[in-house]
Amino acid sequence: MTKIPDGKMAEPPTMSDVARRAGVSAMTVSRALKKGSHVSKATRERIAQAINELGYVLDQSAGSLSSRRTGFVAAIIPSINNSNFSDTARGITDALEGTGLQLLLGYTNYSVDREEELIEAMLKRRPEGIILTGGSHTPRGRRMLEQAGIPVIETWDRPAQPIDKVVGFSNGEAMELLVKTLAGKGYQRFGYIGGTTARDTRGSQRRAGFVRALERLGLPSDRLISFGVPPISMEQGAQAVVNMLERWPDTQVALCVSDLSAFGALMECQRRGLKVPDDIAIAGFGDYEIAACCHPRMTTVNVDCYGIGRQAALKLTQTIQAVSAEPPEPITVTGFRVVEREST
């Protein structure tokens, strides 16, 4: 986000800034933003272009607040029915306890366009900080965040160009570790099950890590199944493993983008009389509760979902409240580990 020389965050762009950029009065901007506006189309288009260029967001709280304190922070996650992101949200909530800050939560269903809508809606209420999942955003969403004048924490990823601060890990490196661990057990014919689109950027990074690890090991990396729009369900995981075995019946181990899809694949193998791991081994990603409870228990990658949320919230509150002379480190790299269980 924009900084001023002493290290403090700059104020977000105002309606007056938009007016100057568009060459009109602030009153004209105000009228143009109202529903059923009678401002000419050409003027409204100039104003819209200025808003887009500046990353301006209408402050709906301005009329009721005498200070910039609103008492809440915002968090945007991909899904509320995914236990990993639920754990992250719980980590945020627990870390906010006793700070006087409340959490406003939104979910994107893995859509960056939906994320952009949520960013705008939340910034209109002027949260004191915002936590995001991942580092991929629409250009307009990124501009709004950069100009918001509040702390922004990107999580679950290590973006090449962070907006502000990061609490996350490399999804590609985590998948590479899983491949290397299983290759060390003697597996050579690997398959990968993931989604059909790049909508889940973290899933795409895991797939890239899978391919990269196998190429470095000198093993075939072309057994890739793309099935279903993310997030992939148990049912889609089941169908995907059938497709994989029809194309490559000698596959030794199937690595899945998540534990849910891996559980579906495991159950489908059992329905077909295939023994896991004797006939085919299966591994997931995320260390969901289901991975430790299914039979056989599932090998997976633990990424400390709760810890990501807690660390992100702590970094956010430290920035908001300036509790120490030294600002928090901009990047916190969180850990991951392979959890080996009976499915491999």
Tell me the C-alpha distance between 257 and 260, whole Å. 9
pLDDT digits (tens, 9 = 90+) for 11-26: 778 888 888 888 888 7
- Per residue in 60-71, pLDDT tens? 555 444 445 788
Set out the domains of the chain in order of their start, with CATH numbers.
15-58 (1.10.260.40), 71-169+306-335 (3.40.50.2300), 171-302 (3.40.50.2300)
Cα distance between residue 55 and residue 241, in whole Å: 44
Q: Please answer whether residues 135 and 157 qualify as being in contact, where contact means their C-beta atoms are separated by less than 8 angstroms.
A: yes
CB atoms within 10 A of CB 197: 13
pLDDT of amino acid 68: 56
Flag whether pLDDT at 41 surpasses 90.
no
User: pLDDT-based confidence at 226, cuts 50/70/90?
Assistant: very high
Average pLDDT (327-344) is: 94
Are 130 and 152 a contacting pair, CB within 8 Å?
yes
List the single range of 36-45, 165-174, 278-287, 307-316 with lowest mean pLDDT.
Answer: 36-45
Residue 185 burial (CB count, 10 A): 12
Q: How confident is the prediction for the chain on average, in pLDDT?
A: 90
Give me the pLDDT at residue 66, please.
Answer: 43
Is the pLDDT reported for residue 246 higher than 90? yes
Q: DSSP string of 126-149?
A: --S-EEEESS---HHHHHHHHTS-
What pLDDT is stored for residue 9 in this prediction?
A: 59
Provide the percentage of residues in the chain whose pLDDT is more than 70. 93
Q: Are strands 152-155 and 165-168 parallel, antiparallel or unpaired?
A: parallel
C-alpha separations of 18 from 103, 120, 167, 243 in Å: 30, 16, 33, 54
Residues 313, 132: Cα–Cα separation, whole Å: 11
Tokens (6 digits) for 68: 């910039």
pLDDT digit string, tens, across residues 132-168: 999 999 999 999 999 998 999 999 999 999 999 999 9
Top-confidence residue, 123 or 24:
123
Rg (C-alpha) for the chain, rounded Å, is: 23
Q: What is the pLDDT of residue 1?
A: 45
Section 314-341 average pLDDT:
87
Residue 238 has pLDDT above 70, yes or no: yes
Give yes or no for residue 4 having a pLDDT over 90. no
pLDDT band of residue 50 (cuts 50, 70, 90) is confident
Phi, psi of 92 (to 5 degrees): -65, -50
Contact indicator for 244, 191 with CB cutoff of 8 Å: yes
Query: pTM value?
Result: 0.81
What pLDDT score does 252 carry?
Answer: 98
